[in-house]
């Protein structure tokens, strides 16, 4: 539905900013480095990669996190598919994704394989099995039957997008996490940390990326 598509503005002609949430899709400093710090290192990746590893994400956006994880997966020598499921309510038009991802030439080999194959829901690219579940995660996640080894919690800032950080949703995240599985997010907001703790994660505050002093990690015992 066209009215559910992401509507964007661009800063410095390269970083997409959501008109609906008034927030950028990734770090104004260096989106790729932030993704590696927060979502890969925050989930002890690539060290934990093993065949069949499943990453799930709240907020697919430009696909930057997925592409960064897929590149790391191949970089770690994995030859089977990385399972990656992302929940997205307002899908971005492929042309906008291409424009945003052009800021990361290092990812070009993966962007060039992904975008031509991308129809907006599922794709199988040998070393990547991607499933983007469209709709509001508050409705779609409770219906999901998969189980993730690592979660990327990447809604817009909790102040602007509180629905993606609410306690009920974080409880569904915990229920869909394998024992010993992890979550990571760039935010250190107290209510998010408390929500993750209430959901059963052992939560730690660790140094964030760039100007952000802290971020949050959690492990499901």
Binding site for ligand SAM (CB under 6 A): 6, 25-26, 59-65, 87-90, 136-138, 154-156, 161, 163-164
Write down the least CB distance from residue 25 to ligand SAM, Å: 5
CB closer to ligand SAM, 105 vs 180: 105
Backbone phi and psi for residue 35, each to the nearest 5 degrees, phi listed first: -60, -45
221 preceded by a cis bond (ω within 30 of 0): no
d(CA 115, CA 119): 8
First to last CA, the chain: 40
Cα separation, 206 vs 84, whole angstroms: 25
Q: What is the DSSP string of 167-221?
A: HHHHHHHHHTEEEEEEEEES---HHHHHHHHHTT-EEEEEE-STT--EEEEEE--
Nearest of 49, 69, 73 to residue 60 by alpha carbon = 69
Q: Least distance in Å: CB of 220 to ligand SAM?
A: 21
Is the Cβ of residue 13 or residue 79 nearer to ligand SAM in the bound state?
13
Rounded CA separation 62/100 (Å): 7
State which residue, 135 or 200, has the beta carbon closest to ligand SAM: 135
Cβ distance to ligand SAM smaller for residue 146 or 180: 146
Q: Which helix (H) or strand (E) holds 100?
A: helix 94-101
In the complex with ligand SAM, which residue's Cβ is closer, 216 or 221?
A: 216
Q: How far apart are CA 38 and CA 48, in angstroms?
A: 15
Q: How far is the CB of 178 from ligand SAM (least distance, A)?
A: 21
Contacts of 213 (CB under 8 A, 6+ apart): 188, 207
Least separation in angstroms between CB 2 and ligand SAM: 15
The nearer residue to ligand SAM, 26 or 84, going by C-beta atoms, is 26
| Nearest distance, CB of residue 87 and ligand SAM, angstroms | 5
Kindly state the smallest distance separating residue 161's Cβ from ligand SAM, in Å.
5
């Amino acid at each position: 539905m066209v009215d559910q598509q992401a509507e964007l503005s661009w800063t410095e002609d390269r970083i997409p900013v959501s008109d609906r949430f008034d927030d950028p899709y990734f770090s104004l400093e260096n989106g790729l480095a932030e993704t590696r710090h927060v979502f890969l290192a925050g989930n002890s990746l690539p060290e934990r990669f093993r065949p069949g590893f499943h990453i799930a994400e709240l907020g697919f956006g430009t696909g930057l996190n997925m592409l960064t994880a897929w590149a790391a997966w191949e970089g770690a020598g994995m030859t089977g598919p990385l399972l990656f499921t992302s929940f997205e309510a307002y899908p971005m038009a492929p042309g906008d994704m291409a424009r945003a991802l052009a800021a990361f030439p290092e990812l070009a080999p993966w962007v060039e394989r992904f975008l031509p194959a991308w129809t907006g829901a599922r794709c199988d690219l040998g070393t990547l099995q991607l499933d983007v579940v469209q709709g509001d995660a508050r409705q779609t996640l409770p219906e999901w039957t998969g189980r993730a080894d690592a979660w990327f919690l990447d809604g817009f800032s909790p102040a602007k997008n509180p629905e993606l950080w609410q306690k009920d949703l974080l409880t569904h995240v915990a229920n869909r996490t394998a024992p010993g599985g992890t979550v990571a997010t760039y935010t250190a907001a107290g209510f998010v940390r408390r929500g993750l703790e209430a959901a059963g994660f052992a939560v730690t505050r660790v140094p964030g990326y760039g100007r952000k002093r802290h971020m949050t990690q959690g492990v499901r015992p």
